[in-house]
Amino acid sequence: MNPTPTPAALRKLRRALLAWYDEHRRELPWRRDADPYRVWVSEIMLQQTRVAAVVDHYARFLQKFPTVQTLAAARESSVLAVWSGLGYYHRARRMHQAAKLIARQRRGIFPRTAEEWRELPGIGRYTAAAIASIAFGEATAVVDGNVERVIERMFGAVEGREAAWHRAESLLDRERAGDFNQAMMELGATVCTPRAPQCPMCPLHNWCVSRGANPARPQAARKRRQLIYGLARRNGSVLLVQRPAKASLMAGMWELPALPEAQHNGAEPMAKLRHAITDTDYDVSVFTVAPAKFHSSAVTARWFAERQWERLPLTGLARKILRRLPA
Ligand code: SF4
């Protein structure tokens, strides 16, 4: 294992990484300022979600809820409607709860330290440190999957998450903590990537013991599943069902009714699409059916006109299907 660099080497390493970040960082909407509300929204959205998917939702979310007060005053269904398509809806629910606490109990004043942020719903160790360092300059390091990979490769050993936090603290530039943290994450996302690290372009090349020699961790094989939905239309409205309030996933959200395989009798689907959630790829087929098929006491079913869809907390897949419907 590579020892911690000397103080002189650490100064050079920090300078090199920050200079690289200043020149090469991606221009992302949440990097335009260090407003704590915007940093918080972006950090919650970016959890387990690709940057490209977040960019659109981030703009729409801020347009609808420009301040913590507007978010706190919103109904949960409105928050979920704007979040629709990002997945992991518990993030939106907890952020909404935290907004109410900030607006009402803290009179709109945001926490400043990572320790204070962790007292809010939905804020773990990484998110608290990211917000406190980026928005308030607190000298605290962050470790996400990207940072952990960079550190493992730099120091030449798989040391585990806790050891990576210690390493990250020892590397941190305490004057520019927020930028340093973002630089480490950016490096992992764009240069020290899982499969093909671009070592000759890496600002940490001189201090890296593996220089790309560490094999990528094996990726879990993706699963493949089929989903079948029924589409019933009446005078421009569509029949939707609500997921149970106690469902472990997407509780209370609206979607098209699932269709038992036997009910489509070998007919051709009116739409076919692919949908990916975490480690599973879904082949989705949608069949046109008569409304009478869905009479069931087990679910809440309602007709919704097209003008209502945007404001409805739809599952991401339901929104995708509805957007593809011919007029
Ligand atoms: S030199 Fe290569 S392996 Fe080492 S940190 Fe940079 S990109 Fe990653």
Domain boundaries, the chain: 7-207, 223-323
Does domain 7-207 correspond to CATH entry 1.10.340.30? yes
The set of protein residues with a Cβ atom below 6 angstroms from ligand 1 is 150, 153-154, 191-192, 197, 199, 202, 204-205, 208, 210-212
Q: What's the average model confidence in pLDDT over 254-280?
A: 81
Give 53-112 pLDDT, tens digit per residue: 899 899 999 999 999 999 999 999 999 999 988 888 999 999 999 999 999 999 999 999
For residue 31, report the phi and psi dihedrals to the nearest 5 degrees: -95, 5
Residue type at position 73: A
Question: What is the spatial distance between Cα 43 and Cα 34, in angstroms, rounded to a whole number?
Answer: 12
Q: Are both 7-207 and 223-323 of the same fold? A: no
Distance 165 CA to ligand 1 centre (A): 18
CB 114 within 8 A of CB 120: no
Our mutation pick for probing the ligand 1 site, out of 2, 21, 205, counting the most ligand atoms within 8 A of Cβ, is: 205
Q: Whose CA is closest to atom 8 on ligand 1?
A: 192
CB 212 within 8 A of CB 199: yes
According to the model, what pLDDT value does residue 188 have? 95
Our mutation pick for probing the ligand 1 site, out of 13, 187, 199, counting the most ligand atoms within 8 A of Cβ, is: 199
- Average pLDDT across the chain, whole number: 89
CB 257 within 8 A of CB 294: yes
Give 110-169 pLDDT, tens digit per residue: 999 999 999 999 999 999 999 999 999 999 999 999 999 999 999 887 578 888 999 999
**Which are the contacts of 215, defined by CB distance < 8 A and separation ≥ 6?**
none
Q: Where are the beta strands (DSSP E) in the chain?
A: 223-231, 233-234, 237-242, 254-255, 271-277, 280-288, 300-305
Q: Which two tokens stand for residue 77?
A: 């269904």
**Which are the contacts of 137, defined by CB distance < 8 A and separation ≥ 6?**
177, 178
How many angstroms from the chain centroid is the CA of residue 48? Answer: 4
According to the model, what pLDDT value does residue 289 have? 84
Question: What is the spatial distance between Cα 110 and Cα 118, in angstroms, rounded to a whole number?
Answer: 12
Distance 289 CA to ligand 1 centre (A): 55
Distance 180 CA to ligand 1 centre (A): 16
Cα 69 to Cα 53, 102, 106, 142: the distances in Å are: 25, 8, 11, 28
Distance 72 CA to ligand 1 centre (A): 43
Q: How far apart are the first and last CA of the chain?
A: 62
According to the model, what pLDDT value does residue 2 have? 60
Distance 164 CA to ligand 1 centre (A): 16
Question: What is the spatial distance between Cα 174 and Cα 166, in angstroms, rounded to a whole number?
Answer: 14
Residue 237 DSSP one-character state? E
Atom of ligand 1 nearest to the CA of 187: 7
Q: Is the pLDDT of residue 280 over 90?
A: no
According to the model, what pLDDT value does residue 264 have? 64
Atom of ligand 1 nearest to the CA of 150: 5
Q: Whose CA is closest to atom 2 on ligand 1?
A: 199
According to the model, what pLDDT value does residue 158 have? 58
Q: Are strands 237-242 and 300-305 parallel, antiparallel or unpaired?
A: antiparallel
Give 174-192 pLDDT, tens digit per residue: 999 999 999 999 999 999 9
Indicate the fold that domain 223-323 takes in CATH.
Nucleoside Triphosphate Pyrophosphohydrolase (3.90.79)
CB 54 within 8 A of CB 46: yes
To 10 degrees, what angle do helices 177-190 and 161-171 make?
A: 130
3-state secondary structure of 254: strand
Question: What is the spatial distance between Cα 311 and Cα 51, in angstroms, rounded to a whole number?
Answer: 24
Q: Are strands 237-242 and 280-288 parallel, antiparallel or unpaired?
A: unpaired
For residue 265, report the phi and psi dihedrals to the nearest 5 degrees: 50, 40
Atom of ligand 1 nearest to the CA of 153: 3
According to the model, what pLDDT value does residue 245 have? 83
Q: Per the residue annotation, which of 43, 148, 152, 255 is the catalytic one?
A: 43
According to the model, what pLDDT value does residue 166 have? 92
According to the model, what pLDDT value does residue 298 have? 56
Annotated catalytic, 115? no
According to the model, what pLDDT value does residue 3 have? 66
Q: Which two tokens stand for residue 25?
A: 């960082």
